[in-house]
């Protein structure tokens, strides 16, 4: 008698044993390198002009946004064309609760993220009802719906002018201290995302990208996995939205624009959509390039798009993946040369 297939609602894959295995799998050398990188990032603003502290904060926030997007696009092979709506949703939910409803800051963060999760679940459920191609179109349609809602609901959202006056409190009025707060929050989110995507649940997500039909054949309800991944990705986008709104001390319609969604996708593609650190690298490259080139020409956006296309075509899989491939090829050649020299020495001695 055949065994009945296991229940396939996602959740058991994130058990304590799975989390334990994630940390056991990490090499101490890699953990040390990450810790050193975080410390360096925390100290870099001390030796740079104050202007760069704002740029670095923006890079870290957009790196989280791109990484959250990559959970769907890079790992699961989904195509969320309007992911910026969740960044904007988190920002507007937090800003409206603080400025209009006068919630305390901590309560507004929690309530804003809960609102983001609830709307994520509804939008995700509706988008996943159709085929993969309709998923992307519905995703973009919902993004356009929220953009219109933000523009027309002037009493709550401020319309095209947005909402200003979202102040930072305490020591975080200092740009450097706020940068440290953002860095700590993003590192914590990275740890959670890393655990999720390298757990058995994450492996199923990668199976969605490679061969969804085989997973269905194995008795796995792929829609449940896609919905949960959709909600998790939207949650981290909401966190990025709250951080961005607090950085700029205001909320603006551009946070929900399709242009921002496209830029986040390009960050993933430039850095490497099939690697964990690729979107972060792409975020740094895009933001720094945009900031520097805009000082010299008003056509910087066109130049940026052309270079993005050239990078994607020239570095298939992203810059990070291309660099890793080159390193592996060089290391393989060195090892082969060592074996060849050792074999020659052995023949000469014999």
pLDDT tens digit string along 104-143?
A: 999 999 999 999 999 999 999 999 887 777 888 899 999 9
Structural domain spans, the chain? 12-258
What is this structure's pTM?
0.83
36, pLDDT greater than 80: yes
Query: What one-character DSSP code corresponds to residue 164?
Result: E
Could you give the residue ranges of the DSSP H alpha helices within the chain? 16-25, 28-43, 50-70, 84-99, 105-127, 132-152, 154-157, 175-197, 200-217, 222-248, 258-271, 278-293, 300-314, 319-349
How far is Cα 78 from Cα 64, in angstroms, rounded to an integer? Answer: 18
339, pLDDT greater than 60: no
pLDDT of residue 22: 46
pLDDT tens digit string along 190-214?
A: 999 988 888 888 888 888 888 888 8
Nearest to 277 by CA among 66, 100, 91, 79: 66
pLDDT of residue 112: 93
What is the CATH code for 12-258?
Answer: 1.10.3470
254, pLDDT greater than 70: yes
pLDDT of residue 1: 41
How far is Cα 161 from Cα 150, in angstroms, rounded to an integer? Answer: 10
251: helix, strand or coil: strand
pLDDT of residue 211: 81
70-79, 86-95, 236-245, 293-302: which has the minimum mean pLDDT? 293-302
320, pLDDT greater than 80: no
How far is Cα 233 from Cα 21, in angstroms, rounded to an integer? Answer: 23
Nearest to 182 by CA among 293, 81, 289, 64: 64
Count of C-beta atoms within a 10 Å radius of residue 253: 19
> What proportion of the chain, given as a percentage, has pLDDT over 90?
29
267 near 279, Cβ under 8 Å? yes
Nearest to 213 by CA among 127, 131, 136: 131
Mean pLDDT of 238-267: 89
How far does Cα 325 stand from its chain's mean position? 23
Mean pLDDT of 273-286: 85
How far is Cα 312 from Cα 159, in angstroms, rounded to an integer? Answer: 36
pLDDT of residue 25: 52
How far is Cα 215 from Cα 208, in angstroms, rounded to an integer? Answer: 7
């Amino acid at each position: 008698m055949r065994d009945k297939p296991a229940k396939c609602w996602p959740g058991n894959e994130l058990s304590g044993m799975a989390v334990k295995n994630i940390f056991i799998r990490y090499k101490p050398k890699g953990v040390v390198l990450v810790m050193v990188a975080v410390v360096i990032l925390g100290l870099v603003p001390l030796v740079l002009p104050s202007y760069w502290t704002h740029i670095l904060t923006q890079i870290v926030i957009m790196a989280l946004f791109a990484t959250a997007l990559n959970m769907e696009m890079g790992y699961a092979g989904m195509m969320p064309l309007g992911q910026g709506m969740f960044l904007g949703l988190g920002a507007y939910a937090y800003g409206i609760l603080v400025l209009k409803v006068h919630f305390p800051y901590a309560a507004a963060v929690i309530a804003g993220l809960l609102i983001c999760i609830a709307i994520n679940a509804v939008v995700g459920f509706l988008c996943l009802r159709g085929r993969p191609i309709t998923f992307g179109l519905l995703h973009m349609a919902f993004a356009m719906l929220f953009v219109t809602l933000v523009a027309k609901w002037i009493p709550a959202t401020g319309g095209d002018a947005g909402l200003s006056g979202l102040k930072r409190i305490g020591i975080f009025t200092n740009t450097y201290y706020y940068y440290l707060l953002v860095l700590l929050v993003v590192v914590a989110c990275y740890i959670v995302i890393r655990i999720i995507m390298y757990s058995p649940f994450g492996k199923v997500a990668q199976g969605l990208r490679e061969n969804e039909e085989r997973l269905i054949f194995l008795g796995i309800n792929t829609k449940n996995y896609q919905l949960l991944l959709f909600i998790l990705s939207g949650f981290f986008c909401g966190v990025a939205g709250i951080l961005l709104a607090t950085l700029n001390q205001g909320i603006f319609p551009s946070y929900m624009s399709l242009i921002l969604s496209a830029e986040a996708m390009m960050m993933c593609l430039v850095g490497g959509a099939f690697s964990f650190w690729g979107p972060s690298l792409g975020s740094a490259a895009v933001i720094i390039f945009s900031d520097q080139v805009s000082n010299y020409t008003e056509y910087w956006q066109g130049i940026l798009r052309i270079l993005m296309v050239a990078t994607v075509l020239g570095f298939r899989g992203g810059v990070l993946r291309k660099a890793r491939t080159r390193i592996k090829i060089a290391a393989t050649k060195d090892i082969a040369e060592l074996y060849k020299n050792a074999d020659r020495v052995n023949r000469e001695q014999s």
